[in-house]
Amino acid sequence: SYELTQPLSVSVALGQTARITCGGNNIGSKNVHWYQQKPGQAPVLVIYRDSNRPSGIPERFSGSNSGNTATLTISRAQAGDEADYYCQVWDSSPVFGGGTKLTVL
Amino acid sequence: QVQLQESGPGLVKPSGTLSLTCAVSGGSISSSNWWSWVRQPPGKGLEWIGEIYHSGSTNYNPSLKSRVTISVDKSKNQFSLKLSSVTAADTAVYYCARDSGITMISFFDIWGQGTMVTVSS
């Protein structure tokens, strides 16, 4: 089965740029989606098909995907961006990464 | 705007069957979307359980397939999950979610709030 690898945690200073990676074999050939999940809440889609933002998601959120790594980039990080972030692809069925906890310092 | 709401017992006995329903409001379950169940054990990540189309077609996570049944009730605009022979490992928050409906580019654009199910005697 296809595996997605995410760092357990990422820290970023307030106002700086955070990058969260999602590794997988030739993931660049797949469509990658990203979800934000705050404590006690349901996940929210923040990026779909590598780099597209759903309506209502700030432009500070962007995504890229190439080779064996997909990246979620959060510019001008805010305290409200603190959350768990999950990547997801489709490989015969939906597959999620293990999640990354983003801390804004 | 489409909204999803899970309902069902919060406590299930070991070896019993977990049963949940997801009510769809603000839209039709007969749209060109698949409808999924996703779960999250306490402190852990997300796991896709399975999905259903309004026609009744289903797909399941191979690791759970032998124990999972997902059904749809178009008259009530809802779909349901049954997970049999549950153990403590099935304790989790269970979410229902709407799939984009784009073939082989599955992503979940709308989620229910989730419901906690504990397996315990």
Residues of B whose CB is below 8 A from A51? none
Q: Is-contact B22 B44, C-beta < 8 A?
A: no
Nearest to B109 among A54, A93, A94 (CB): A54
Looking up tokens 């984009």 gives B100
Distance from CA of A16 to the nearest CA of B (A): 26
Encode pLDDT of A17-68 as tens digits: 999 999 999 999 999 999 999 999 999 999 999 999 999 999 999 999 999 9
Query: Touching check for B94 and chain A: CB below 8 Å?
Result: no
> Tens of pLDDT along chain B (121 residues)?
999 999 999 999 999 999 999 999 999 999 889 999 999 999 999 999 999 999 999 999 999 999 999 999 999 999 999 999 999 999 999 999 999 878 778 899 999 999 999 999 9
Give the 3-state DSSP-derived string for chain B, with helices as H, strands as E and coil as C: CCEEEEECCCEECCCCCEEEEEEEECCCCCCCCCEEEEEECCCCCCEEEEEECCCCCEEECCCCHHHEEEEEECCCCEEEEEECCCCHHHCEEEEEEEECCCCCCCCEEEECCCEEEEECC
- Residue of B47, B105, B114 with shortest CB distance to A31: B105
Paired with B91 in beta bridges are none
Are residues A43 and B46 in contact, defined by beta-carbon separation less than 8 angstroms? yes
Set of chain A residues whose Cβ sits within 8 Å of the Cβ of B112 = 42
Q: Collect all residues of chain A within an 8 Å Cβ-Cβ radius of residue B114.
A: 42
Measure B109 CA to nearest chain A CA, in Å: 6
Residue of A nearest to B95 (CA): A42
Residues with Cβ within 8 Å of A85's Cβ and at least 6 positions away in sequence, in order, are: A6, A20, A34, A35, A36, A37, A46, A72, A99, A100, A102
Chain B residues with CB under 8 Å of A42 CB are: 95, 111-114
At residue B48's C-alpha, the angle toward residues A20 and B88, to 5°, is 105
CA distance A101 to A6: 10
User: How many whole angstroms from its chain centre is CA A28?
Assistant: 15
CB < 8 Å to A1, chain B: 62
How many whole angstroms from its chain centre is CA B26?
18
C-alpha torsion sign, points A90, A96, B112, A102: negative
